[in-house]
Amino acid sequence: MQDEHNLDFDKFDEVMSPPPAVTDFDAVVDEAISRRGFLGGVLAFGAGTFLVSTTAMTKGVAAATADRFGFEGIAASTADTITLPKGFKWEPVVLWGDPIKPGAPAFDHDTRGTAASQETSFGDNNDGMSIFTRDGRTVLVVNNEYTNRDIIWGNRPDNKPAEDDDIMKGKMAHGVTVVEVTSEGGRWKVVQDSALNRRITPDTEMALEGVASGHDLLKTAADPTGTKTLGTWNNCGNGQTPWGTYLACEENFNGYFSAADEEHKTSPELSRYGVRSTDWGYGWAKVDERFDVSKHPNEPNRAGYVVEIDPWNPDSTPIKRTSLGRFKHENADVVLAADGTVVVYMGDDERGEYLYKFVSDRKYSALGDNSGALSSGKLYAAKFEADQTGKWLELSEAATGMTNAEIAIHTRLAASAVKATTMDRPEWVASNPVKVESYVALTNNKNRGVKPNAGGDDTSANPANPREENLYGQILRWMPDGEDHTADTFTWNLFALAGNPEVHDGTDRAGSPNINAGNMFNSPDGLSFDENGMLWIQTDGNYSNAEDFAGMGNNQMLVGDTQTGEIRRFMVGPNEAEITGLAWAPDRRTVFVGIQHPGEDGNSHFPDGGTTVPRSGVIAVSREDGGLLG
Ligand code: FEO
Ligand code: CA
Ligand code: CA
Ligand code: CA
């Protein structure tokens, strides 16, 4: 039975705040009709131009000729383990609850830890991660997005917190983990006594920096200056800057706030972000009053940002970069334009929200101080046109009627004001290192063509989000005009429409021609390029392996050749897990991969098997012969 404790973010938001019913049904029908005309046009790999023969693709087997994959695609699987192509192996590196401080206790499968043990251990439900290397040392920085309450409190009656320490354990399992790792005898392990190891939690002091810093909407009783705050939580995807810092992105920050008075009405601005009088079962307001939104209504305005962290200085204060906007941040893909301007692409992962771009006022300096690179710049939201052109709409004071600080705090309202394109839940953005183009995973959107977004904006099907009740998701790419990431215009097409050609042959739910019985998947989420320009795709979708999702198996990781459109399945995860987070060791002989929420509905014992508690973690994948990956 699902209770509110194990509803995921989407389901909970749906239950708590059903968006208003669609009012313009005619518009939906019109779009559905015209869609048949434009789908063929926007698909990058339409039937006529597809370079890989359908026969070879249908078998899901690597072509015999030389290719850029370096592995044979594998079949779907429902095994409670990691499945890889022939010639590859995996090992766990660090799991939820593993100690990362000297003297910290090992994970206890009976109690599942305490607040104190969790604060000195790897957090739960790891998501985005980056690798940093210096002077022969290797550091992983990993987001710990949230907790499965049924698992962390699985030792308690009804899987509910029995005492305040249980709630604090959950709180301390959130945030970011910085951990040094080393390869010894061919195996990766945590350097438990490294001085670099650090837990950044919802209680770590942080700066509120940038255009909104000091604004009245950021001031609270504890911080009348509106310039400093405590902590980060629900860190989903990530980013890595050319100057060696880590970006942790705050996504579903809203689900942690509640009001002692359940009749309390939150403001329309907080409602747009899903802040309500009840939380999602974490109970933080019981142990920390700032999460009571009736008492501290500005506290939620201090979350929903991109947080910059210096992994090499464990005493550094993380900085919330308000100029990059406030929304349910997925990741932050940092690219340098040809002139050195710093550009950051960012998705807002909620049905019918937007895709954003930040263009810094400053240029990157290879030898200089880049601490101000994310301090000020222009923010844009994307508009996709039917003729496969597009425009970045500036969120300026003139265009939105809001001040720049208000735009940074109520960014969703600003993007609605300029009428950007409502998207099918933008997850990760990744930019090709060998070509000036970027990709975004639009994971799914059952409300497309059904209901407006939380701001009441129309979400009829549109060229970039062409399928109503979008079950499977799509990957869209854009090419900035003039091969310049600072350009405010671009062309675009769809790299892949996920689908199920076995169940839905002949309809748009079959997906694009590069989707076949051998590689089908749903809900693309994590995206990352390797240095050869191959696109790695991670999924966070429906793992029922039944009905619309029959034949897809567990969540998985695939690799796409962005030149030919061919997609192969590289890895399948354990039961009820999502694959998220990817980082290559500099020697390209190991890729670190995140396994999140195995057994979220009670049906996994990953990775230890038997009757053990399922644990999220980072695994290392390599070739059995130690060879190069890709
Ligand atoms: Fe945390 Fe949008 O995934
Ligand atoms: Ca995600
Ligand atoms: Ca997701
Ligand atoms: Ca997730």
The CA distance from 211 to 360, in Å, is: 12
- Residue 91 C-alpha to ligand 4 middle, in angstroms? 21
The reply to whether 219 falls in a domain is yes
**Ligand closest to CA 540:** 3
- Residue 428 C-alpha to ligand 2 middle, in angstroms? 7
The reply to whether 369 falls in a domain is no
Domain range for 173: 4-362+374-623
The reply to whether 257 falls in a domain is yes
Could you read off the pLDDT of 269-328 as tens digits, one per residue?
A: 999 999 999 999 999 999 999 999 999 999 999 999 999 999 999 999 999 999 999 999
The CA distance from 5 to 160, in Å, is: 8
* pLDDT given for residue 10 in this prediction: 62
Closest ligand 1 atom, CA of 251?
1
Instruction: Name the residue at shortest CA distance from atom 1 of ligand 1.
Output: 236
Name which of 287, 273, 263 is nearest 234 in CA terms: 273
Name which of 217, 224, 228 is nearest 267 in CA terms: 217
Which residue numbers in the chain have pLDDT < 50? 1-3, 18-38, 48-65
Name which of 494, 512, 510 is nearest 502 in CA terms: 510
Distance of CA 446 to the CA centre of its chain: 18
* pLDDT given for residue 16 in this prediction: 57
- Residue 365 C-alpha to ligand 3 middle, in angstroms? 34
The CA distance from 580 to 570, in Å, is: 14
* pLDDT given for residue 31 in this prediction: 45
The reply to whether 489 falls in a domain is yes
Could you read off the pLDDT of 46-83 as tens digits, one per residue?
A: 654 333 333 333 333 344 446 899 999 999 999 999 99
Residues near 302 by Cβ (< 8 Å), separated by ≥ 6?
208, 218, 220, 229, 320
Collect residues with CB below 5 Å from ion ligand 4: 578
Asked whether the beta carbons of 84 and 74 are under 8 A apart, the reply is yes
The CA distance from 316 to 310, in Å, is: 7
Name which of 97, 147, 451 is nearest 284 in CA terms: 147
The CA distance from 557 to 136, in Å, is: 29
* Kind and range of the H or E run holding 26: helix 25-42
Asked whether the beta carbons of 56 and 518 are under 8 A apart, the reply is no
**Ligand closest to CA 330:** 1
* pLDDT given for residue 41 in this prediction: 75
Predicted model pTM: 0.93
SS3 of 570-584: the string is EEECCCCCEEEEEEE
Task: For residue 344, give Cα distances in angstroms to 303, 392, 396, 429, 584.
Answer: 19, 13, 17, 10, 21
Asked whether the beta carbons of 269 and 407 are under 8 A apart, the reply is no
- Residue 237 C-alpha to ligand 1 middle, in angstroms? 7
Name which of 38, 56, 141, 58 is nearest 94 in CA terms: 141
| Alpha helices in 81-235, H assignment, sequence order | 115-119, 149-152, 164-172
DSSP-assigned letter for residue 613: P
Closest ligand 1 atom, CA of 236?
1
What total of structural domains would you count in the chain?
A: 1
The CA distance from 98 to 195, in Å, is: 16
Pocket, ligand 1, Cβ cutoff 6 A? 127, 145, 236, 251, 330, 349, 427
Q: Residue 16: how many CA atoms within 13 Å on its side-chain side?
A: 25
The reply to whether 630 falls in a domain is no
Two tokens at 182? Answer: 């080393």
**Ligand closest to CA 524:** 3
* pLDDT given for residue 24 in this prediction: 42
Closest ligand 1 atom, CA of 425?
2
The CA distance from 169 to 163, in Å, is: 10
The CATH code of the domain that includes 567 is 2.120.10.30
* pLDDT given for residue 3 in this prediction: 47
- Residue 587 C-alpha to ligand 4 middle, in angstroms? 28
Segments of 326-431 assigned E as strands: 329-336, 341-348, 355-363, 377-384, 389-394, 426-431
Closest ligand 1 atom, CA of 427?
2
- Residue 525 C-alpha to ligand 4 middle, in angstroms? 9
The reply to whether 71 falls in a domain is yes
Mind giving me the DSSP string for 117-146?
HHHTB--SSEEEEEEEEETTEEEEEEEE--
* pLDDT given for residue 186 in this prediction: 85
